[in-house]
A and B are shown apart, each in its own frame.
Chain A
Amino acid sequence: MGETILSVDNLDVSFQTNSGLIKAVRGVSFDLKKGETLAIVGESGSGKSVTAKSIMQLLPKQSTRIDSGSIVYGGNDLLEYGNKEIEKIRGKEIAMVFQDPMTSLNPTMKIGKQVMEGLIKHNNIRKKEAKKRSIELLTEVGIPYAEERMNSFPHEFSGGMRQRVVIAMALACDPKVLIADEPTTALDVTIQAQILNLMKELQKKTGTSILIITHDLGVVVNMAQRIAVMYAGEIVETGTLREIFYKPKHPYTWGLLQSMPKMHQDQSVPLIPIAGSPPDVSLMHDGCPFAARCPYVMKVCHNHKPDQTQISVTHAAACWLEDDWAPEIKQPEKIGGVSNS
């Protein structure tokens, strides 16, 4: 296993809202290794974006409470950084790409100027050089006629092109870590393919570590070497790509994999959805977050949170079924991979 570049440990994040306290992220831990791609998957509201944003202190200061945990990068805890210190890291050492490219772009500023700004700010170079480098970067991410397009405004670009620009900006300073939060969710599949390939190529060149957040299991397989599965604010299972897809241990992971149609799925065989709907995180109790929807739920699950059980060096799951005394259950047969119909 490679060297760890970013380490999130036991992170708890909650929000103070009118309708009470929302414990959006609870006890989340993971390591990102040098040069690897780690995917965080999970349903809407499971806390993926909150986790990513807390790394870069991008959550609203007013309402956010980081109750505990640490995010260690380069030997320091980023959570203890002040505004000025985090500014130095943000964009330079750790860059972010969001689902909506307009979050990162200024609609009233020419594309070229926006790319140049980041370069000048972090690299201390002259305007002329920044311009040259910007054109190179835009060309590298596949913007045709980059020199002319420097003068375009974001609205003159398609969604895919805007996302390329954001990636160009993110890469401008050779970041050590790239956090990509649903970078292709808003794009068409043919454009998604271009962007994913672009990220992988750039990673090969620069050795950047990528933390990709997505709910699309296809994207996960395409990009990641390791996966963390999140449910209702907690990581319920972590493993290598193959461990998660072929030897999943957590009932939520089973459900997630089963609910997709298989490649040669017989049309007359119904899909296997997960019953119910994701829980309201403001009403979370002490037990397993998946207990209300879990087909294997036991008494203990409702009142006691299961610990992470280590299954292999790289594989862990937080489920009481992994406990020694737990009854043997028959795992559903058709999990893992789309091919076995």
Chain B
Amino acid sequence: MEVKNLKKYFNVGKKQLKAVDNVSFEIYEGETLGLVGESGCGKSTIGRTILNLYQATSGEVNYKGKNLQEKLSKKEKKFYQEEIQMIFQDPYSSLDPRMTVLEIIAEGIKIHQSNMIGKERLERVYELLELVGLDRKHAKRYPHEFSGGQRQRIGIARSLAVNPNLIIADEPIAALDVSIQAQIVNLLKELQKERGLTYLFIAHDLSMVKYISDRVGVMYLGSMVELASSEELYNNPLHPYTKALMSAVPIPDPDIEEKREQIILQGDMPSPLNPPSGCRFITRCPAAMDMCAKLSPEWTEVEKDHFVACHLF
């Protein structure tokens, strides 16, 4: 998938809210691309625009040679809806409480593989349940009878029902306990290995993102500020925001935490309704220069496969 100059503006009253402003990146087949950044920086909006839940203001989302933002035929639409699936943050609200697990998972199969019926469909549901580590006897139960981690498994089974290729996981573990997060992350990794899935993994937790992602993109106030392999990004962060973000995370190891040097950012992220001109990060950047207020920095490949948008580079 190639996302090119993607913009998504919302009209809020008379103003324009630039939720995603000119973002470009690629997702390679079979990889996990992590997307991190503070609340409101536009991560979910990117995911939703890729899924065509939002119409982009401008820009392209190219997938298998087709720009999904253009008008698609019904058949094409259906194809892409199957190919690209989403897993949501909240395993509580994303499952219909009145449907059994069987109905929830079978729904996708019904729409997308209408030739699969009766016993065959049931078998497929069982197979999916077992794939995500649940039991076939769970099929008759309702979502409220499950724990958070189990519900997230149901959500994953539902998205796998149509044999997708790309999965957009929007904070899939944020609502879960640490011990359960590890279960879900292991499951996602196993599924990826078995089925060659590609993930766009949106998250807050930097250590989990590092562990699961091949490459990581960092967003700030609607823009992507840095993108590199996860090793490179964590060992050699370049953008002042990435540096601050990484240094802000307390480390659950007393000896290391004692030595951690923090870059404390002043203030909050500005309102996206009223972003500063020039570089978006200027109001909080410890390294800001005169030109940062005037020019918005270009998206540059400073080292091979390491992109950054900052006037320092």
The answer to whether A109 has its CB under 8 Å from any CB of chain B is: no
Residues of A within 8 A of B204 (CB): 188-189
**Interface residue from B177, B185, B206 paired with A189 (Cβ < 8 Å):** B206
Is the C-beta of A63 less than 8 angstroms from some C-beta in chain B? no
Interface residues of B in 185-214 (CB under 8 A from A): 185-186, 189-190, 204, 206-208, 210-212
Do B39 and A188 touch across chains, with their CB atoms under 8 A apart? yes
| Bound form: Cα–Cα A335–B248 in Å | 24
Partner of A196, one of B178, B250, B256: B250
Q: Please give, as numbers and ranges, the residues of chain A lying within 8 Å of B256 by CB-CB distance.
A: 263, 337-339
Known: A261-B207, A263-B207, A267-B211. A277 touches B180 (CB 8 A): yes
**Contact assessment for A263 and B180 in the assembled complex, using a CB-CB cutoff below 8 Å:** no
Residues in B neighbouring A216, C-beta threshold 8 A = 250
Candidates A158, A259, A273, A339; contact of B255 at CB < 8 Å:
A339
Determine if B250 and A222 form an interchain contact, defined as CB atoms under 8 angstroms apart: yes
Name B252's contact: one of A43, A196, A273, A338 (CB within 8 Å). A338
Q: Identify which of residues 239-254 in chain B touch chain A, using a CB-to-CB cut-off of 8 Å.
A: 244-245, 248-254
For B206, list chain A residues within 8 Å (CB).
Answer: 189
B-side contacts of A272, CB under 8 Å: 182
Q: A190-B265, A259-B178, A271-B185 are in contact. Are A265 and B250 (CB under 8 A)?
A: no
B181 in the interface (beta carbon within 8 A): yes
Residues of B within 8 A of A265 (CB): 211
From 181 to 205 in chain A, residues with beta carbon under 8 angstroms from any chain B beta carbon are 188-194, 196-197
| Cβ < 8 Å to B, chain A residues 239-282 | 241-242, 245-246, 255-257, 259-261, 263, 265, 267, 270-274, 277-278
Q: Is B147 an interface residue (CB 8 A)?
A: yes
Please measure, in the bound complex, the distance between the C-alpha atom of A246 and the C-alpha atom of B244, giving whole angstroms. 28
Interface class of chain B by DSSP:
helix
User: What A residues does B181 contact at CB under 8 A?
Assistant: 259, 273
CB within 8 Å of A: which B141-185 residues: 147-150, 177-183, 185
Minimum CB–CB distance from A153 to chain B (whole Å) comes to: 16
Q: Does B264 contact A (CB under 8 A)?
A: yes
> Is B70 positioned at the interface, with any CB of A under 8 Å from its CB?
no
User: Could you say which residues of chain A place their CB within 8 Å of the CB of B262?
Assistant: 193, 197
Closest-CB distance, B152 to chain A (whole angstroms):
11
B290 touches A (CB below 8 Å): no
Tell whether, in the assembled complex, residue A339 and residue B253 are in contact, meaning their CB atoms are under 8 Å apart: yes
Task: Note all chain A residues with C-beta closer than 8 A to B250.
Answer: 193, 196, 216, 218-219, 221-222
Task: Please provide the 9 A-B residue pairs with the shortest distance between their CB atoms, ordered closest to farther.
Answer: A218-B250, A273-B182, A217-B252, A274-B179, A222-B250, A261-B211, A271-B182, A259-B182, A188-B38
Instruction: Give 27 pairs: A residue, B residue, CB < 8 Å, sorted on A.
Output: A144-B267, A188-B269, A189-B38, A189-B206, A190-B265, A191-B268, A194-B264, A217-B178, A219-B250, A220-B252, A221-B257, A242-B254, A246-B254, A256-B178, A257-B252, A259-B179, A260-B178, A261-B208, A263-B256, A270-B190, A273-B182, A273-B183, A274-B182, A278-B177, A338-B253, A339-B253, A339-B255
Could you list which residues of chain B lie within 8 angstroms of chain A, going by C-beta atoms?
Answer: 38-39, 147-150, 177-183, 185-186, 189-190, 204, 206-208, 210-212, 244-245, 248-257, 262, 264-265, 267-269
